[in-house]
């Protein structure tokens, strides 16, 4: 198998079979909290996609070019949290200057990305799986695309459920959990694909 085919399979695997929400259960808080409307879910998903991709790049560089040479790899979690927080702050400042309307639309969602465990999860996963720089960035980017797909699909389901006849005891959060479980089972069907 050549390298291009391997990369394509890796990308599909990140989005479908190793989806951060449905198989690793990372990022569940924004998945359930921000998936009320498709527009807000898409905005959150795009912001997470950008941050996860760039965080994968910077966390790889910090780990391999700073922590390993100094023999302080035990500091990786703290270092990755600092990288992610600084990156989110930079993105927020940039959006505030470049596109105030987009900054206003994202509002509280930008600072929430700092506490999204999927962003920290991808950085630590890259280290534990010993990915090189290219695969680390690909893992970050396409795991984030998987997050985006999951949160937008969930928002679409929740919007449709608003008009559905649901027993009173299942309205709101309970039906959201049942829907998320059914979506996770559906995504398990992709496990034999890659």
Confidence of residue 173 (pLDDT cuts 50, 70, 90): confident
Please, where are the H alpha helices in the chain?
3-12, 28-33, 38-62, 76-98, 100-106, 109-114, 117-128, 133-162, 173-188
What does the pLDDT read at residue 102?
Answer: 74
Between 192 and 78, whose confidence is greater?
78
Q: Is the pLDDT at 63 greater than 80, yes or no? A: yes
Confidence of residue 194 (pLDDT cuts 50, 70, 90): low
Main-chain phi, psi angles of 24, to 5 degrees: -105, -10
The DSSP line for 2-58 is -HHHHHHHHHHIIIIIT-TTTTS--SHHHHHHSTTSHHHHHHHHHHHHHHHHHHHHH
Q: Is the pLDDT at 137 greater than 90, yes or no? A: yes
Average pLDDT over residues 12-31: 88
What does the pLDDT read at residue 78?
Answer: 95
Average pLDDT in the chain? 90
Between 6 and 111, whose confidence is greater?
6
Q: pTM above the 0.75 mark? A: yes
């Amino acid at each position: 198998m050549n390298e291009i085919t391997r990369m394509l399979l890796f990308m599909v695997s990140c989005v479908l079979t190793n989806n951060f929400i449905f198989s690793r259960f990372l990022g569940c808080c924004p998945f359930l909290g921000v998936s009320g409307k498709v527009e807000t879910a898409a905005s959150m998903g795009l912001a997470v996609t950008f941050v996860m991709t760039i965080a994968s790049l910077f966390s790889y560089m910090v780990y391999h070019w700073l922590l390993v040479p100094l023999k302080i790899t035990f500091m990786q979690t703290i270092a990755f949290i600092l990288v992610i927080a600084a990156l989110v702050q930079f993105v927020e400042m940039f959006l505030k200057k470049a596109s105030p309307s987009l900054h206003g639309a994202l509002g509280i969602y930008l600072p929430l990305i700092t506490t999204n465990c999927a962003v920290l999860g991808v950085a630590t996963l890259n280290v534990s799986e010993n990915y090189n720089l290219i695969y680390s960035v690909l893992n970050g980017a396409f795991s984030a695309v998987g997050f985006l797909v999951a949160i937008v699909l969930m928002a679409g389901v929740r919007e449709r459920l608003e008009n559905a006849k649901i027993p009173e005891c299942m309205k709101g959060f309970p039906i959201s959990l049942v829907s998320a479980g059914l979506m996770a089972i559906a995504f398990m069907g992709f496990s034999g694909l890659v």
